[in-house]
């Protein structure tokens, strides 16, 4: 019984995330992209074009377009994934359709419309994706294509689909400018989406090989208040044993560490690798919050 209650609680939280994410997405579409005939790729872009032809609401058109995709994906991607997607898509459809009657349209500047529209859409998608759900569309299509073309990165498959939609939209609206602004909107969407999903867990993993590993470690722990791990290393040429200093820190703090390492040991070897998932004290504190 306890397990059922936990499932209902999780489902309720998922629905709240769907509602919040859909609200942001609707703001981006109904205020900025749709009134300016910006088709931001994917199903939303197709629905935006069909809206001007049929007069049907973008939310309803998006839902209809997603139905055959979900039917195909039912067997390929699994019932659980599709049911979760259906819930999120249903919430998004209702929010898009209802809010269309109450939100003002911004048409003064297409560049601002594409940037803010894309940013709001990215924020909305990020909130929905945080709970492991999707809004269907190109995400489903990309996963299906990935089964057929497993050697092609998913990002490139989705980019290819979005590019095709933008090209068609450019011809339909008879405007190269509209297509270019759609690219701006897609870029803004992806940037904000990444920030929402990974912003609290991004940073740099730094490796330092130096004659003064303890002094560097002390500075990182005492002055920068970051954790340090020592790895055992061995010089490939000299065979000399070394202690490699490893730490994770926000990218904004890398220059501070670099400057100190140069002061302590000008001959030190330093490497920094970007990381999109750092979980622990000082970053994302819990796996449950991802």
* Tokens at 164, concatenated: 């095709």
CB-based contact 114:36 (threshold 8 Å): yes
pLDDT tens digits, 146-193:
677 766 665 566 777 788 889 888 888 888 888 899 999 998 988 888
Domain ranges of the chain: 2-199, 202-289
Q: Three-class SS string for 98-133? A: HHCCCCCCCCCCHHHHHHHHHHHHHHHHHHHHCCCC
pLDDT of residue 273: 83
Confidence band (pLDDT; 50, 70, 90) for 245? very high
Q: What is the mean pLDDT of residues 243-269?
A: 88
Architecture of domain 202-289: 2-Layer Sandwich (3.30)
Residue 281 pLDDT greater than 70, yes or no? no
Average pLDDT over the chain, rounded to whole?
Answer: 84
* Tokens at 213, concatenated: 């590993």
Extended beta strands in the chain, E state: 203-209, 229-234, 241-249, 269-275
Residue 48 pLDDT greater than 90, yes or no? yes
Of 277 and 223, the one with more pLDDT: 223
Q: Which of 87-96, 162-171, 232-241, 272-281 has the weakest average pLDDT? A: 272-281
pLDDT of residue 2: 44
């Amino acid at each position: 019984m306890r397990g059922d209650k936990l499932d209902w609680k999780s489902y309720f939280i998922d629905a709240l995330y769907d509602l919040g994410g859909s609200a942001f997405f609707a703001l981006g579409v109904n205020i900025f992209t749709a009134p300016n005939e910006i088709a931001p790729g994917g199903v939303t872009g197709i629905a935006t074009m069909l809206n001007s032809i049929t007069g049907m609401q973008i939310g309803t058109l998006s839902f209809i377009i997603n139905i055959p995709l979900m039917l195909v994906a039912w067997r390929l991607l699994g019932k659980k994934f599709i049911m979760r997607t259906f819930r999120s898509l249903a919430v998004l459809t209702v929010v898009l359709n209802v809010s269309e009657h109450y939100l003002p349209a911004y048409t003064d500047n297409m560049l601002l419309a594409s940037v803010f529209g894309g940013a709001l859409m990215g924020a909305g998608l990020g909130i929905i994706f945080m709970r492991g759900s999707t809004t269907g569309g190109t995400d489903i299509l990309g996963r299906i294509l990935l089964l057929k073309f497993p050697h092609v990165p998913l990002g490139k498959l989705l980019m290819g689909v979005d590019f095709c939609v933008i090209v068609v939209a450019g011809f339909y609206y008879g405007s190269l400018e509209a297509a270019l602004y759609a690219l701006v909107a897609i870029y803004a969407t992806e940037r904000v989406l990444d920030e929402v999903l990974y912003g609290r867990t991004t940073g740099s993993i730094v490796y330092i090989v130096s004659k003064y590993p303890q002094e560097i470690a002390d500075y990182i722990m005492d002055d920068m208040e970051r954790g340090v791990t020592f790895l055992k290393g061995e010089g490939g040429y000299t065979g000399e044993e070394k202690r490699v200093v490893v730490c994770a820190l926000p990218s904004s703090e890398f220059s501070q560490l670099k400057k100190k390492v140069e002061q302590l040991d000008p001959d030190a070897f330093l490497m920094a690798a970007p990381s999109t998932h750092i979980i622990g004290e000082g970053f994302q504190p819990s796996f449950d919050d991802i």
